[in-house]
Amino acid sequence: MKKEEGWHMYSEIKHLKKIGLKKSQIARKLDISRPTVNKYLNMSTDEFEEFIEGIQVRKKKPEPYSAEILLWLREFPDLSASQIFDWLEEKYKTLPFSEETLRRYIRLLRQEHNIHKTTKIREYEGVEELPMGKQMQVDFGEIKVKKEDGKDIRLYVMCFVLAHSRYKYCEWQSRPFTTSDIIRIHENAFEYYGGMPEEIVYDQDHVILVSENYGDLIYTREFAGYHQKRKFKVYMCRKADPESKGKIENVVGFVKNNFARHRTFYNIDRWNEDCLSWLERRGNGKVHGTTRKVPAQVFLEEKKYLKPILSKIKTKTPSLSLTYQVRKDNTVPIKGNRYSVPKGTYKGPYTYVKVNYISETELVIIDIDTDKKLAQYQIPADKGNILKNSNHKRDISVKISDLINQIADRFAESAKAKIFMENIQKEKPRHIRDQLNLIQSTMKDSSLESINKALEFCIKNHLYKATDFQDAVAHYEKDKAKLDNTIRAELVPLTPDNFEKINITPKIRDISEYINALGGNENATIQNR
């Protein structure tokens, strides 16, 4: 709080009290808490002076982030300090204060701005600790979140947790799970953990279990085949009684409330990638409330007790691609290596690209908005490499609309040219930049006359391709060259030197010379006259 603001608040509280308002009325009118009103009313002028000076000196470390925190709290009053800390950490990477410091600061903000938090009482039951590598528990859940456009979308999650270390893995989908999905996600989880436990505990789910026939589990055909290959033990808790499996913790609830809740959805790939990053920071990277140990640290030991997975079982469902953040130097760090992308790909700290793995040794980097392939690389066997593509010097930072306007200005009729290129964009949205670049290169060495004629021809015949424009320009340039090479008669100007030639009297021959030349008879000719 600024000194001037503090004094204004103090004076206003004193004034409102003097004219007869109750403390609750003052709090509502000034949008502050009743404890704040009490505190200010109980202070003399000198005491408040000392208080406000102390605030200026003892500036709280989270204070630079107060505007952002207040915005979140007003929008989502039920936000926990832990979730706010994670959001700040996700955005700024490192923070100059601890989570506990932020917790105390948020408590003061809630009091000062009268933002109350609704809390749910959670009940916990102590369970016997299981040995390392013994058991994994699996849960399913769903949640409705907001998309970028403000519309709702329902997401589905499958969560895994190792019973001993509490080390977690999650994977999301934007559609309900099929048995094929569950098998694929199992394989992804085993790859993430680097092995498989002795047994897995499930709730009864229709994509896994057809029925329970007096204790005999009847699996779906697809899951039965998978279980036969992997040979892990299955423990299915009783129907409508999830407590029967002695749950270590509510992983789904933890993930939904601390990661998914109030988070904006952009696409499923980015959502999954952000969830894994969150697990590294929070779910697996912070001290567990029950064990008082960091799951990631305990997992390093438990991993040794997991059964190794020699090869991944492939399913019909394709594996999900992942999103990666683009650095300022237009490179993408992926599993210990850096891969270049075209110049201009980076558009700020939240620039992401999608990465698809063609095989174990090859990957493709894709623009997350247009689905256009940006680069394709062989994955090196070692780490620490910087892989570059010479074509990535091309600048894609200029907006398409700006590029269209720049090119249109070079035509005699820029409005027509703009319409022409906008139609190209409608027909080839994914390749519009390449189309515009071809138009630019075509215009570079061509006459303005041919360029304008080509434009008229393309618009008249509804030809909306850069190659059509290129062919038309080449045609008109060829015609122009033929015309320029045509031989024309040279006109000599009349000068005084040429007058003598004009006044020369031509020689008159006798008619007999013509008659003889033609083989005629001079006398006969005379008689005929």
- pLDDT at 299 (0 to 100): 94
Least trusted range by pLDDT, from 54-58, 97-101, 469-473: 54-58
Q: Report pLDDT for 478.
A: 86
Using 50, 70 and 90 to split pLDDT, how confident is the model at 469? very high
- The CATH number covering residue 277 comes to 3.30.420.10
Neighbouring CB atoms inside 10 A of 211's CB total 12
Give the pair of three-digit tokens for residue 12. Answer: 């206003």
- The reply to whether 369 and 428 lie within a common domain is no
Both 328 and 417 in a single domain?
no
pLDDT at 372 exceeding the cut of 60: yes
Predicted pLDDT of residue 144: 92
Rounded to 5 degrees, what are φ and ψ at 210? Answer: -80, -50
- Banded pLDDT at 123 (limits 50, 70, 90): very low
| Percent of all residues in the chain with a pLDDT value above 90, rounded to a whole number | 22
User: Tens digits of per-residue pLDDT, 493-526?
Assistant: 656 665 555 566 666 667 777 667 666 665 554 4
Beta strands 352-359 and 322-325, pairing class: antiparallel
Would you give the end-to-end CA distance of the chain in angstroms? 133
Whether residue 515 lies inside any domain: the answer is: no
User: Among 56-60, 67-71, 386-390, 456-460, whose mean pLDDT is lowest?
Assistant: 56-60
Range of the domain at 457: 409-484
Q: What is the dihedral of CA 281, 286, 291, 295, to 10 degrees?
A: 40
> Is the confidence at residue 147, as pLDDT, over 60?
yes
Query: 281 and 201 share a domain?
Result: yes
pLDDT of residue 87: 79
Assign residue 20 a region (left: φ > 0; alpha: ψ between -120 and 50; beta: otherwise): left
Q: Are 353 and 338 in contact (CB under 8 A)?
A: no
For the segment 146-152, the average pLDDT, to the nearest whole number, is 87
Taking residues 221-241, report their average pLDDT. 78
pLDDT digits (tens, 9 = 90+) for 447-464: 999 999 999 999 999 899
Statement to judge: residues 72 and 108 lie in one domain: yes
pLDDT at 238 over 60: no
Q: Is residue 56 situated within a structural domain?
A: yes
Tokens of residue 93, six digits: 């990477």
Distance (Å, whole) CA 238 – CA 147: 36
Domain boundary among 280, 305, 330: 305
**pLDDT computed for residue 247 by the predictor:** 54
Indicate if 9 and 78 belong to the same structural domain: yes
- The number of beta carbons lying within 10 Å of the beta carbon of residue 454 is 26
* One domain, residues 329 and 424: no
Greatest Cα pair distance in the chain: 154
Taking residues 378-398, what's their average pLDDT?
75
List the single range of 70-74, 151-155, 312-316 with lowest mean pLDDT.
Answer: 312-316
DSSP letter (8 states) at residue 147:
B
pLDDT tops 50 at residue 215: no
In a domain, 507, yes or no: no
What type of residue sits at position 76?
A: F
Do 300 and 174 lie in a common domain? yes
* 255 in the same domain as 180: yes
Residue 90 is predicted with a pLDDT of 77
Could you tell me the pLDDT band of residue 59, with boundaries at 50, 70 and 90? low
Domain boundary among 466, 484, 502: 484
- Kindly state whether residues 335 and 438 are assigned to the same domain: no
pLDDT digits (tens, 9 = 90+) for 173-188: 988 888 888 889 999 9
The share of the chain scoring above pLDDT 70, in percent, equals 79
Greatest mean pLDDT range, 2-16, 79-93, 351-365, 441-455: 441-455
The pTM score is 0.45
Domain count of the fold of the chain: 4
User: Average pLDDT for residues 231-235, to the nearest whole number?
Assistant: 87
What is the Cα–Cα distance from 428 to 465, expressed in whole angstroms? 8
pLDDT value for 54: 65
pLDDT of residue 298: 93
Residue (of 156, 202, 159) closest to 176 by Cα position: 156
Same domain (yes/no): 259, 375: no
pLDDT for residue 104 is more than 50? yes
Mean pLDDT in residue range 369-388:
85
* Same domain, yes or no: 84 and 14: yes
Give the helix/strand (H/E) hosting 171: strand 168-173
Angle between helix 466-484 and 448-460 (nearest 10): 130
State how far the Cα of 175 lies from the Cα of 154, in Å rounded to an integer: 8
pLDDT higher than threshold 80 for residue 405: yes
Q: Which residues in 255-320 belong to E strands, given as ranges?
A: none
Q: Residue 473 — pLDDT band, cuts 50, 70, 90?
A: very high
pLDDT in tens, 15-52: 888 888 888 888 888 878 888 888 888 888 888 777 77
Report residue 490's pLDDT band, with 50, 70 and 90 as the boundaries.
Answer: low
CA distances from 168 to 201, 279, 296 (A): 14, 7, 9
State the chain's mean pLDDT as an integer.
80
Which residue do the tokens 């709702």 mark? 152
Residue 415 lies in a domain: yes
Rounded Cα distance, 270 and 287, in Å: 26
pLDDT of residue 124: 39
Three-state SS for 263?
A: coil
Taking CA atoms, 64 is separated from 67, 411, 429, 505, in Å, by: 8, 51, 42, 109
SS3 content of the chain, % helix, strand, coil (to 5): 45, 15, 35
- The verdict on residue 499 lying in a domain is no
8 A C-beta contact, residue 378 and residue 429: no
Q: Rounded to whole angstroms, how far apart are CA atoms 258 and 79?
A: 9
Torsion of CA 23, 25, 28, 32, to 10 degrees: -20
Rounded Cα gap, residues 458 and 422, in angstroms: 13
Residue 316 lies in a domain: no
Kindly indicate the confidence band of residue 340, based on its pLDDT and cuts at 50, 70 and 90: very high
Sequence letter at residue 423: N
387/413 same-domain check: no
According to the model, what pLDDT value does residue 121 have?
43
Q: Is residue 364 part of a domain?
A: yes
- Domain assignment of residue 130, yes or no: no
With 50 as the cut, is the pLDDT of residue 364 above it? yes
The amino acid occupying position 380 is P
Q: What is the number of H-type helices and E-type strands within the chain?
A: 20, 14
Write out pLDDT tens, residues 300-310: 999 999 999 88
The pLDDT score that the predictor gives to residue 112 is 80
Instruction: Look at residue 94 and give its three-state secondary structure.
Output: coil
Residue ending a domain, among 277, 305, 333, is: 305
- Rounded-to-integer distance, Cα 94 and Cα 96, Å: 7
